[in-house]
Structure 1
Amino acid sequence: MARLPVVRITAILGALLLVYFVSVIARPKVVYVDTSTNEIVHNYIPKDEDASIAGVSLGDVVREKLQNSFGGVSDPIKDPQKEAQLALAQIEQVKEDSAAEVKVVKDSNGNVIVPAPPAPDYIGKDKDIRATFVTLARNSEMYELIKSIRRVEDRFNRKFNYDWVFLNDEEFTDEFKRLTTSIVSGKTKYGLIPKEHWSYPEWVDLEKAAKSREDMKAAKIIYGDSESYRHMCRFESGFFWRSPLLDDYDWYWRVEPGIQIHCDLDYDLFKFMRDNKKRYGFTISIHEFEKTIPTLWEHTKNFIKEHSEYLAPNNLMDFISNDNGETYNLCHFWSNFEVADLNFWRSDAYRAYFDYLDKTGGFFYERWGDAPIHSIAAALFLNKDEIHYFDDVGYNHGVYTQCPLNPDFRFEHKCHCNPDSDFTFRGYSCGKKYYDVMKLERPKEWVDYQ
């Protein structure tokens, strides 16, 4: 009988130990959540203070291994955090142009005229349209990129199944290929950028280029000291459209990591462009950082003097210049979203313009972006009615958002953007300028979102 209490005590202790081990096994992991998006961050690398809270000892060696294992060993070309900080700082510094006039068009009864939505007859894919998505990305951007792809597929491409071309200055990993192929509804193609398209041309003075990067870094210009960013801008300006993987296509839609599409797109944007004789489409227009392109316009004027035959008779010069071409007002289309005609970049006019600029070395002696170069070329070499503003996409990249202002439209197209974030008519945007030059009626709600 004396053994009974011992057995009971042993059983109780065993039960307590079992409960303890079960609780340890079932204990939830530490989960990191992005406070701005409420999305779980699966590859978050904790700071030291975060690691201590999580009960994890994270030394420098472990952190380095984690960073190197995140999709590859290379760093992304762009730094979204730096871009956002600089963009917000510049927006705060902008003052509205006091000379801008409010232009509201009304009918005979005093009602504001609102542009009609796209005609429904563009719904459906035309098999004769040779179009693809194009993305320049590195392996380390894979997880950020697949979110962008998923958004584009859900909002648009699941209905049309267009192909997707991926380009990289390194070989894509098998993981990158498998994951992107699994979520793209069309065919996927992967290309390695030739070294001559991602390196210094022979005429560039490397010492002069290095000195320029040092000066820009000292001046705290974003990407001022980055060589890879300069290679990227030169590639997007003069070489992406030369990839053999694009030879089978006439149209492309550029998609970058980190972008969002807020609205359902129930019509074929490529078909719309073709049927309406449009050649360049955008969602956001903005002013460029002047310190990155101090001599770009002078070189452009010199090119025009030598090749006036390339100027379109009904061009959009008034959008990029306030004084008939004497100076550049810094307005450009934000090229991280483009739906455009590849044959425009393949044209004699654009090839000659790019080659002229490239020979000056400005991509490396300064920090020319592909966005102002694409925009200047489109504004000068295309007729203005060949350029289209997609006001129905609901597009976001970084701190800049294009969101349809009409509440009925947002409801019908299941938009999840906040119109308060729309950038179109804000002071640092070139949206007002574009609407005025193109003589477009502004949406009746615009006065509440400027």
Structure 2
Amino acid sequence: MAPQRSATRLIKFAIFAVVLIVFGYTLSSGSGNSKPTVGVVENNQPVANVPVNEIPIAPKEIPVKEAPNPIKNTPAQLKDTSSHGDQTPLGSDVHLDEKIKACFVALVRNEELSSLVDAMRQIEDRFNRKYHYDYVFLNDKEFTEEFKETVQAFASGPVKFGLIPTDHWSYPSWIDQDKAAQVRKDMKAQGIIYGDSVSYRHMCRYESGFFWRHQLMDEYEYYWRIDPGTKVYCDIDYDIFKWMKDNDKKYSFTISLPEYHATIPTLWDTTKQFVKENPQFLNDNNLLEWISDDKGETYNGCHFWSNFEVASLDFWRSDAYRKYFDHLDQAGGFFYERWGDAPVHSIAAALFLDKEQIHFFDDLGYYHIPFHNCPFDKKVRLERKCACDPTSI
């Protein structure tokens, strides 16, 4: 649902990508087989139109920290995911009666139909043609008949269309809209990406606190978020949703990035206030050391890129997350600043979940303009027919 971007500055992205490659290597330390890389991808694809002065500034590299209880299955130390295939190989019969209640969900506009079905074709070819999981499409406008007919033709599972309630896509009563408008004007003058966008702010607020409340989502336990234009590079020869549930994983990701600090100047202070008032929600085995370099004094900007996330809906429905979102919403940072759903989700997962419940899928191969994650291990790439190059920058 992001607004259309303008002309690209490749040089800055290339420099930024080098930082991210080093960062991605750090994330993959501890994995014996499949080490991911992340880089700017061209290959005849348009590169993100982000002005040079709007590129997020990477925080300093976070070292792997030793602890009495080593971090497992997290950015600091990752488990080998190449053994996932023992769930249900693509070449064998799939027992559909063993499926769990899960769906793909996309917040999408009618005009994004072409890039959406590109993403759906990738997901169907690589995964869902064997499992036939549902699709849920959400929009703040009514979907056109053309949109409905087209996506139904691409989907192997049931398809549902939902209209977002007006009060979930509008200003809350406590927001000073004149103040919000001035903030957008100031951010535009500073060259901050999406700084002057109203729709982007509504999207971030909706993805943070409302998509999981839509009545169409009520029946599901897990979801896989898809965005128009994304690609899955590798065959997925096991049921991801079932694997997540069987292994008690609540949140998963494929790429992590540093957030642009100018968009979230007070997010961490607002979070610390919430934790101080609600210490019971802080998990004893949390992942604080990944999002803060100074034991929680400041936020280093690290976040999971939320255009791909497979997660438990019960986590967002939990008392801890509901109250956390309400606290953030009352503070007004979605409109007075430009808080994104990615740092909000990431901070919540890092603080309220056991770090063993957070999983890095290093075996999928994933692309969203302008970055990708490709398995480094050649054996994995060949076995899973990964159409990507881990050295591509």
Of 237, 243, 248 in structure 1, the residue corresponding to residue 214 of structure 2 is: 243
CA distance in 2, matches of 1:299, 1:184: 41
Quote the residue 1:351 is aligned against: 322
Shift of the 286–126 alpha-carbon distance from structure 1 to 2, 3 Å rule, reads farther
1:121-270 map, 5 Å:
121-123=86-88, 124=94, 125=96, 127-270=98-241
1:267-278 equivalences in 2 (<5 Å): 267-278=238-249
Q: Which moved more, 1:317-326 or 1:122-131?
A: 122-131
Question: Paired residue for 1:35?
Answer: none
CA contact (8 A) 1:310 1:381 kept: yes
Q: Distance in 2 between matches of 1:249 and 1:98?
A: 37
Separation in 2 of the partners of 1:391 and 1:380? 22
Matched to 1:91, the amino acid is F
User: Which segment drifts farther, 178-187 or 93-102?
Assistant: 93-102
Q: Note if contact 2:259-2:303 (Cα within 8 Å) is conserved in structure 1.
A: yes
Q: 1:115 aligns with which of 80, 87, 94?
A: 80
> What pairs up with 1:46-61 in 2 under 5 angstroms?
none
Deviation for aligned residue 1:87: 7.2
Alignment partners' CA distance in 2, 1:350 and 1:83: 36
Residues 217 and 350 of structure 1, relative CA distance in 2, 3 Å threshold: same
State the alpha-carbon separation in 2 of the partners of residues 283 and 184 from structure 1.
23
Residues 82 and 270 of structure 1, relative CA distance in 2, 3 Å threshold: farther
Output the CA distance in 1 between the equivalents of 2:62 and 2:246: 37
Partner of residue 4, structure 2: 79
Q: Does 1:318 align with 2:243?
A: no
Normalised TM-score (structure 2): 0.82
CA distance in 2, matches of 1:199, 1:320: 30
**Aligned partner of 2:293: which letter?**
N
* Residue 403 of structure 1, CA deviation: 0.1
Q: What's the CA shift string for 1:94-126, capped at 9, x where partnerless?
A: 5975884799xxxxxxxxx99361243311455
Distance 2:197 2:313 in 1: 28
1:92: Cα distance to partner?
A: 6.5
1:231-270 alpha-carbon deviations (Å, 9 max, x no partner): 0000000000000001110100000001000000010000
Aligned to 1:60: none
- Rate the CA distance shift 1:379–1:240 in 2: closer, same or farther, 3 A: same
Once residues 250 and 412 of structure 1 are traced to their aligned partners in structure 2, the CA distance between those partners, rounded to angstroms, is 30
Length, aligned pairs only = 338
> 2:250, 2:358 within 8 Å by CA — same for their partners in 1?
yes
Q: Does structure 1 residue 391 correspond to structure 2 residue 362?
A: yes
In structure 1, the gaps of 5 or more residues are 1-75, 104-112, 423-450
Deviation readout 1:322-368 (Å, 9 max, x if unpaired):
11111001000000000000010000000000000000110000000
Aligned to 2:376: 405
Query: 1:420 deviation in Å?
Result: 1.0
Aligned pair in 2 of structure 1 residues 277, 343: CA closer, same or farther (>3 Å)?
same
1:144–1:258 Cα contact (<8 Å) kept: yes
Per-residue deviation at 1:90? 6.6
Once residues 132 and 324 of structure 1 are traced to their aligned partners in structure 2, the CA distance between those partners, rounded to angstroms, is 37
Matches within 5 A, 1:394-433: 394-421=365-392
Residues 1:85 and 1:145: Cα distance change in structure 2 (over 3 Å): farther
Deviation at 1:79, TM superposition (A): 2.9
Contact residue 315 and residue 381 of structure 1 kept, 8 A = yes
Secondary structure at the residue paired with 2:241?
Answer: helix
- Matched residue type, 1:374: H
2:82 aligned counterpart, secondary structure: coil
- Which structure has more relative contact order (CA 8 Å, sep 6+)? It is 2
CA separation in 2, counterparts of 1:83 and 1:357? Answer: 33
Any conservation in 2 of the 1:83–1:398 contact (CA below 8 Å)?
no
- More helix, by proportion: 1
Structure 2 distance, partners of 1:341, 1:273, is 8
Q: CA offsets, 1:126-184, max 9 Å, x none?
A: 53510000000000100111100110110000010000000000000000000000110
Partner of 1:285: 256
Q: Say what the alpha-carbon RMSD is for the aligned residues.
A: 2.3
Q: Which segment is superposed worse, 211-220 or 118-127?
A: 118-127
SS in 2 for 1:218: helix
Rounded Cα–Cα distance in structure 1 between residues aligned with 2:120 and 2:9: 21
Q: Which residues of structure 2 form unaligned runs of 5+?
A: 23-59, 67-77, 89-93
Partner residue in 1 for 2:307 = 336
- Give identity over the alignment, percent: 55
Q: Distance in 1 between matches of 2:17 and 2:252?
A: 28
Partner of 1:16: none
State whether structure 2 residue 53 is matched by structure 1 residue 88.
no
- One-letter identity of the residue aligned with 2:171: Y
